[in-house]
């Protein structure tokens, strides 16, 4: 049984991250965390909250280190998103960063042991261990894509290195006017290996621009990120962006979870397959999913010109 404390009226809630000095304030319906289904803190690098009954907010929360991705972060993301995937209350996720900026990428201090001094008695064993580490790090962001709930990422200030890997695994990218993006890996002597080189070309239409960003590690600012399609909306500041992200999340959460989650799974499948393969996949998918009661409920609401916000869909 889920024990939610549902407050009746919109409240102004503050970011729960204790170390976050620049508190973002959003007008939302505050709901307590699920005692069974939701992600189970304590996480040391992620702050998880429920701004509404069906929305989970995950915030990377090491503001004093500019949200650098330390060892704990790489593991906690996997636990967190696996739990969200299994949480039948949650329909949409909003992801953001605490403090001055979104993230400064991999923790350059913490990189040392895993990557710079890998264990092993000979080249083969050392290489095998490095491979294991990279596989584990890749899962940190792949888990976002594997989670069937749409993930809206809200980016302010800098989004560097691993941050670009992270956001390209998300479904919808929003940013503030002061945001900038940097595929920084070449500057620290490596080819990006946890998603940017694989996903960014599928996000941005121009292969030439992807190559330029990856080879030069130059900063790309919000306006260019919008014009090339990396983000779909630019907001004047973080508060407005968070309010916009939560409003969008609320809109998505009001729709049939069978329809929304099926849409995410099939969009990702079709990105990676030919049109005939993807048509075959959705055919098989929908031969069961079209039998949902949500179809009739949604169609009836459309006929009666009712908002989907007034329709109750079962948990999924
Ligand atoms: C298999 C692995 C795959 C993953 C690969 C990933 C690769 C990457 O992510 S490459 C990118 C690496 N990141 C960077 O090069 C960014 C380094 N940081 C900065 O350039 C600046 O800190 C930044 C522009 C982000 C912010 O500048 P600001 O003036 O606002 O803050 P600072 O005074 O510089 O920093 C405040 C404290 O945060 C610590 N810090 C910042 N970034 C990192 C980081 N990436 N790793 C570890 N620590 C970081 C900084 O040292 C300060 O700490 P303290 O001195 O203790 O106050």
Best CA proximity match to 26, nearest among 308, 244, 251, 263: 244
Split at pLDDT 50, 70, 90, the class of 153 is: very high
pLDDT tens per residue across span 157-207: 999 999 999 999 999 999 999 999 999 999 999 999 999 999 999 999 899
Percentage of the chain surpassing pLDDT 90?
80
Instruction: Provide the terminal-to-terminal Cα distance of the chain, rounded to the nearest Å.
Output: 15
Question: What does pLDDT average to over the chain?
Answer: 88
Of 2-11, 146-155, 229-238, give the lowest mean pLDDT range: 2-11
Q: What is the pLDDT of residues 49-84, one digit of tens each?
A: 999 999 999 999 999 999 999 999 999 999 999 999
Q: What does residue 6 show for φ and ψ, rounded to 5 degrees?
A: -100, 120
250 among known catalytic residues: no
SS3 of residue 11 by DSSP: strand
Task: Show the domains of the chain with their CATH numbers.
Answer: 46-253 (3.90.226.10), 258-304 (1.10.12.10)
| 115: pLDDT strictly greater than 60 | yes
Decide if 106 is catalytic: yes
162 Cβ below 6 A of ligand 1: yes
CA 169 – CA 90 distance, rounded (Å): 19
Give pLDDT, residue 41: 63
pLDDT for the residue 4: 28
Whole-number pLDDT of residue 42: 80
Residues 26 and 243 sit within 8 Å (Cβ to Cβ): yes
What's the CA-to-centroid distance between 5 and ligand 1, angstroms?
A: 38
Q: What is the C-alpha to C-alpha distance for residues 241 and 141, in angstroms, rounded to an integer? A: 22
What is the pLDDT, as a whole number, of residue 40?
64
pLDDT on residue 32: 33
Catalytic residue among 38, 97, 162, 262: 162
Decide: 157 in ligand 1 pocket, CB within 6 A. no
**Residues 98-112: tens digit of each pLDDT:** 999 999 999 999 886
Q: pLDDT tens for residues 22-45? A: 433 333 333 334 444 566 668 999
Average pLDDT of 147-154? Answer: 98
Helix 71-86 and helix 123-146, axial crossing angle in degrees, nearest 10: 40
pLDDT at 125 over 80: yes
Q: Catalytic residue at 185?
A: yes
**Which residue minimizes the CA distance to atom 17 of ligand 1?**
104
Q: What pTM does this model have?
A: 0.90
Ligand 1 pocket test, pick from 104, 133, 155, 214 with the greatest ligand atom count within 8 Å of Cβ, gives: 104
ipTM of model? 0.99
- Over residues 8-22, the pLDDT tens digits come to 222 223 334 544 444
| pLDDT band at 287; cut points 50, 70, 90 | very high
For 3-12, what is the mean pLDDT? 27
94 secondary structure, DSSP code: E
pLDDT band of residue 117 (cuts 50, 70, 90) is confident
């Amino acid at each position: 049984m889920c024990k939610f404390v549902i407050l009746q009226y919109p409240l102004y809630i503050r970011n729960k991250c204790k170390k976050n000095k620049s508190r973002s304030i959003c007008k939302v319906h505050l709901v307590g965390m699920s005692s069974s289904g939701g992600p189970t803190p304590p996480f040391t690098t992620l702050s998880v909250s429920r701004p509404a009954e069906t929305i989970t907010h995950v915030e990377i929360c090491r503001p004093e280190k500019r949200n650098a991705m330390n060892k704990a972060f790489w593991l906690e993301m996997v636990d967190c998103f696996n739990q969200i995937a299994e949480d039948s209350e949650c329909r949409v996720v909003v992801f953001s960063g605490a403090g001055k900026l979104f993230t400064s990428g991999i923790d350059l201090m913490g990189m040392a042991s895993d990557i710079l001094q890998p264990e092993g008695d000979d080249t083969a064993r050392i290489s095998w261990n490095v491979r294991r580490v990279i596989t584990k790090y890749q899962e940190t962001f792949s888990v976002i894509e594997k989670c069937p709930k749409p993930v809206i990422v809200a980016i302010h200030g800098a989004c560097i290195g691993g941050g670009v890997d992270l956001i390209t695994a998300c479904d919808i990218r929003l940013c503030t006017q002061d945001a900038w993006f940097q595929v920084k890996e070449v500057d620290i002597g490596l080819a990006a290996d946890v998603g940017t080189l694989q996903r960014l070309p599928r996000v941005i239409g121009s292969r030439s621009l992807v190559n330029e960003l990856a080879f030069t590690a130059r900063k790309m600012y919000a306006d260019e990120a919008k014009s090339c399609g990396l983000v779909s909306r630019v907001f004047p500041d973080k508060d407005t962006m968070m309010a916009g992200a939560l409003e969008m999340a609320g809109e998505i959460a009001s729709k049939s979870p069978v329809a929304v989650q099926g849409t995410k799974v099939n969009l990702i499948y079709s990105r990676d397959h030919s049109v005939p393969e993807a048509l075959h996949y959705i055919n098989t998918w929908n031969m069961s999913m079209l039998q949902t009661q949500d179809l009739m409920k949604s169609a009836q609401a459309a006929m009666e010109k009712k908002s989907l916000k007034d329709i109750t869909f079962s948990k999924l």
